Structures are given as C-alpha cells and as structure tokens.
C-alpha cells in the first residue's frame, strides 16, 4: 500500500514538473507575455549589434541605452538568433527559460540533499517556478534568468558539496568564474553583496572564528 502511494505521489510530482516546463515554453514567442519594458531596448541593441558584424562596441540608436548593461546578454541574443538571421522572439527568449529551469533543477537537488527526500526537492523546484515573479522575469529576454543561475551556482555548490569549502584554489577559482559570468550579464555592482554572502558562509563554516576565517578562507573569497 505504501509503495503504491509513493509511486502515485512520484507520478504526481513528475506530472507537475512537466506541466511547469510546458507552461514556461507555452506562448514564448508572443508579444504580450508578462514582462517589463527593458526587453525592447535589449532586443534593439542585439539587432543593431548583430547587423554591424562586430560584438563590440554595442550598437544602439538610443544614446542613453547603448551601455545599459555588460555585453553578455546581448552576445547571448546574437548567438541564439544566429547573428540576427533567425530573428524571432522564441530564439531570443528560449535561453532565458533554460536558465530558469536549470535553477529549478539546482533547487530540486538541494532540497533532496538537505532532507534526503525527493518530495522536498520537487516542492522546492515547483515553488520557485510557481511564483509569478519567476514566471514574469524568467521567460523574457532579460538579464534576470542568467544572473540568478550564475550567482546562485556557487552557493549551491558550497551547500550541496560541503567538502568544497576546504578547497584552496580550484573550487574558489571555478566559483569566481561563475560569479564573473553573472557580473557580465548584470552588473559588477553585485560584487559587494555576493562577496559579503560568500564571506558570511565561510565564516559560518568556521563557527564564526574570525582568525580562523582570515587564515583559511579570506583569500578564497577574494
């Protein structure tokens, strides 16, 4: 009886996840999906830059919007549309959905790891995808989905594999690269909160022994 209930519950969660994936891709090429106005100038910059045949400098007919963000989002749009040859909203937006779903996968793995229960993992992923703000900003051609993924990735790695806290070079270097990619999508101003967050995690790992943190972890965070 219990085995039958477990299989039924698993089937329900899998079905809910498939519905979520379908929902996030449904109508992705529509002009009136939930979003904000930033998508239009971003698309404009991508199209003109692609037409120029060069990745830099970014091109725009709106002088105040030319350098609105670091270049990685615009390069992503150039790549996904084949330098503007396949210019559709679907081509521009589908990488955002993939980033959002990958973030949900990390939440699933983290929920399962911390509790040892698949059910908690499903609840974590579905809760993230169920928020309207995730749906609104996790589908359009915006900086939010890749920013969330690349900035969350280091925290996910440190929490999912606790032994990575002890790595002196390789893991901190790889996590630094991940954070740098996030900066190239959004803003280098994120450096302060991300550094404080990572520093806090390492300090907690040392049971708030400041001297131990400074000796063993400060260089990693830097």
Looking from the CA of 169 toward its CB, the CA atoms found within 13 Å total 0
Whole-number pLDDT of residue 37: 84
H or E element that contains 122: helix 118-130
Buried b (16+ CB within 10 A) or exposed e, 130-160: eeeebbebbbbbbbbbbbbbbbbbbbbbbee
Give mean pLDDT in consecutive 10-residue pieces for the chain, a chain of 222 residues. Answer: 76 96 96 90 94 92 76 96 95 98 98 93 97 96 96 95 91 94 93 93 92 91 89
Tokens representing 181 are 């990619």
d(CA 182, CA 180): 5
Instruction: Please return the burial class of 13, using the count of CB atoms within 10 Å of its CB with bins 0-12, 13-18 and 19+.
Output: middle
Decide if 172 contacts 158 (C-beta within 8 A).
no
Decide if 81 contacts 91 (C-beta within 8 A).
yes
């Amino acid at each position: 009886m219990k085995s039958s209930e477990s299989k039924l519950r698993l089937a329900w969660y899998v079905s809910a996840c498939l519905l979520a994936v379908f929902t996030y891709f449904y109508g992705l090429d529509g002009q009136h999906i939930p979003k904000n106005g930033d998508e239009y100038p971003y698309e404009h910059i991508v199209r003109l830059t692609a037409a120029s045949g060069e990745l830099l400098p970014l091109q725009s007919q709106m002088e105040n919007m030319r350098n609105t963000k670091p270049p990685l989002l615009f390069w992503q749009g150039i790549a996904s549309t084949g330098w503007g040859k396949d210019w559709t909203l679907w081509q521009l937006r589908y990488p955002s959905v993939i980033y959002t779903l990958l973030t949900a996968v990390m939440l699933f793995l983290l929920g399962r790891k911390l509790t040892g229960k698949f059910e908690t993992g499903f609840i974590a992923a579905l809760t993230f995808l169920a928020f309207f703000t995730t749906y609104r900003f996790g589908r359009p051609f915006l900086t939010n989905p890749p920013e969330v993924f690349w900035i969350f990735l280091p925290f996910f790695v440190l929490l999912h594999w606790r032994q990575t806290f002890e790595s002196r070079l390789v893991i901190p270097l790889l996590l630094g690269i991940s954070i740098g990619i996030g900066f190239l999508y959004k803003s280098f101003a994120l450096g302060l909160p991300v550094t404080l967050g990572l520093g806090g995690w390492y300090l907690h790992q040392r049971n708030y022994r400041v001297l131990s943190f400074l000796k063993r972890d400060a260089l990693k965070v830097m």
